[in-house]
Amino acid sequence: MQDVHHAQVFFSGRVQGVGFRYAALQVAKEFEVAGWVKNLADGRVHLEVEGPVDQVNAYLAAVEERMHGYVRKVDRSERARRPQFAGFSIQ
């Protein structure tokens, strides 16, 4: 099985209670990506996404654009790995 591009992203700011997870789920339908998104107890949103590198980058750019004004900081780490997700979900 071929490796995919994986990104782990933490969004800070006013990112809970504003439809962030739902927006991330809806935007994922427009790209060839898989993963999940969830709220963290410390007020951040944690997003894991994988797919072709161009799709992952375009997806994350679209999420940031959609949630512009709510996101203050983005911490992102990326690497290639074996696929681990099927579909996209809210956790």
Enumerate the active-site residues: 21, 39
SS3 25: helix
Of 56, 79, 55, 81, the closest CA to residue 1 belongs to: 81
**H or E element that contains 34:** strand 34-39
